[in-house]
Amino acid sequence: MKFLIILLALGLERLWPQLPQWRPVERFHAYTDAFRSRFTQPWLLGRGGLVALLAPWLLGTWLLLELLEPLDWLIGLAVLLLCLGPRDLLGDLRRLGADLGIGGAGPESLAAFGLTGTPTGETLAGALIREALVRLFGVVFWFALLGPVGALLYRLTQLLAAREDGEEDDFGLAVWQLQALLDWLPARLLAATGALIGNFDATLAAWRECDPADPFDDSREFAAEVALESMELESGTGPATALESARGYLVRAGVAWLALLALLTLADWLA
């Protein structure tokens, strides 16, 4: 069932360009601000505060799934649709490609991927891989593993991490650690996918060289570095060519993930 829900969610996101406007990002940020200003006890300023802040959302979703079990597929679909993104990845890729096609990417299309100025092809491709992990692959991974609650945990953590970026208090540290732990598995699965869809030997060599020993190191950067080697992106490659290489890599990776999930679903049905 999860496989079908994921397929349906990805299809609806393509057909419903207004979907990002319905994602309650600002409402969650308002909730976060209200929570942190209202509850200032010492034990709520670090990990305890992070658990207390996320618990109502996660428990509420779990209870809804338990109480409305016949509609769990519909609830799962709604949660997954809200957790993807929050920006439209394919739309941002199209705008970036259009800008590059007329001579150069504008500030807005670059900012969608956390870039500024005039990035090199390698920098651009790496940013696309990192954004795809956060917007799509990480959400799909945790949905497939833990269902709607897993996808919601991943998305809320990423929203908090983006908001707390640069903060050095106990709460910001707790958010950063949770984000690193949630990125660890999907980043490595995405990197391993490169061995199937790209250069196998280059992928293994990059894995050995770039794999961080500390689980709290940046797994997104690791996935990007392995992907660059897997797609054999040469130094000095132009942004437009790098964009096409990265986009092709992500499409093939997505197809590989869906094929693996389909096989697991089929095996579960046959069992």
In the DSSP assignment, the letter for residue 136 is: I
Q: Give residue-wise pLDDT tens across range 217-240.
A: 788 999 999 999 999 887 777 888
Whole-angstrom distance, CA of residue 251 vs CA of residue 172: 33
Nearest to 27 by CA among 73, 82, 69: 82
pLDDT of residue 35: 86
pTM exceeds 0.75 for this model:
yes
Whole-angstrom distance, CA of residue 239 vs CA of residue 122: 8
pLDDT of residue 104: 64
66-102 exposure pattern, b = at least 16 Cβ within 10 A, e = fewer: eeeeeebeebbbbbbbbbbbbebbbebbebbbebbee
Whole-angstrom distance, CA of residue 222 vs CA of residue 7: 27
Whole-angstrom distance, CA of residue 3 vs CA of residue 6: 5
Residues written for the chain: 271
Q: Give residue-wise pLDDT tens across range 125-172.
A: 999 999 999 999 999 999 999 999 999 999 999 999 988 776 678 888
161-185 exposure pattern, b = at least 16 Cβ within 10 A, e = fewer: beebeeeeebbbbbbbebbbebbbe
pLDDT of residue 9: 93
Which portions of the chain are predicted below pLDDT 70?
A: 101-105, 166-167
CB 106 within 8 A of CB 46: no
Report the amino acid identity of residue 2: K
Residue 144: which residues within 8 A CB-CB, separation 6 or more?
2, 3, 6, 261
CB 50 within 8 A of CB 171: yes
Q: Could you give the dihedral angle defined by the CA atoms of residues 119, 123, 129 and 132, in that order, rounded to the nearest 10 degrees?
A: -30
